[in-house]
Amino acid sequence: MMAFLQMCNLPIKVVCRANAEYMSPSGKVPFIHVGNQVVSELGPIVQFVKAKGHSLSDGLDEVQKAEMKAYMELVNNMLLTAELYLQWCDEATVGEITHARYGSPYPWPLNHILAYQKQWEVKRKMKAIGWGNKTLDQVLEDVDQCCQALSQRLGTQPYFFNKQPTELDALVFGHLYTILTTQLTNDELSEKVKNYSNLLAFCRRIEQHYFEDRGKGSSSIKSS
């Protein structure tokens, strides 16, 4: 999200809030607060920014736009679900990290209750889409397939659609960066990503170009 806004050259001020999930109109972080409007989630934010006259994908033709949307779905489908799975369905990670982090802004016993509730919700969703019975290895394999596809699509280009970054680049960067920099009990997920050197180079390039150049720190905002 931050990557997208940076790419559009929009000045943003980043704020961490504990009740971020509740402030957002759709219950999801991240969201942006502009004047007296609040817009949440990547899709609507992109639309909103577009309506204000900034868009990253104007230079694409119809076929490329279709491809971009397809790849964004692939990333959402695979990477996002895998991240959720790892955070909430892998017992080791849940016990050691996720519960504590999710519940940390709240006093006992609220922290436990909210964490369990979220876990139950996520498990329900996983079951509905057929991921309920997947083992960790299968999830990692899916992530690997997804990274392979992204790596092949990126090839040797600087961005997915050659010279200009688009929403897809921002989305991929956001997910890969989170995977690479989040501390989890096992590093297999980030190892999978690291296997693809062009994806690593891609992340580094965006990080340097859009974040360090502007004097901002490179910590990412996570929903907690």
Interacting residues with other proteins (CB under 8 A): 25-28, 62-63, 65-67, 69-71, 73-74, 76-78, 124-125, 128-130, 145-146, 148-150, 152-153, 155
Q: How far is the CB of 125 from other proteins (least distance, A)?
A: 5
Residue closer to other proteins by CB (options 76, 182) is 76
Residue closer to other proteins by CB (options 66, 113) is 66
Q: How far is the CB of 77 from other proteins (least distance, A)?
A: 4
First to last CA, the chain: 16
Residue closer to other proteins by CB (options 46, 78) is 78
Phi, psi of 15 (to 5 degrees): -130, 135
Q: How far is the CB of 62 from other proteins (least distance, A)?
A: 5
DSSP string, 142-177: HHHHHHHHHHHHHTT-SBTBBTB--HHHHHHHHHHH
Q: How far is the CB of 26 from other proteins (least distance, A)?
A: 5
Residues whose CB is less than 8 angstroms from the CB of residue 150 and which lie 6 or more positions away in sequence, other chains included: 71, 74, 75, 172, 196, 199
Residue closer to other proteins by CB (options 81, 220) is 81
Element (H, E) at 123: helix 110-128
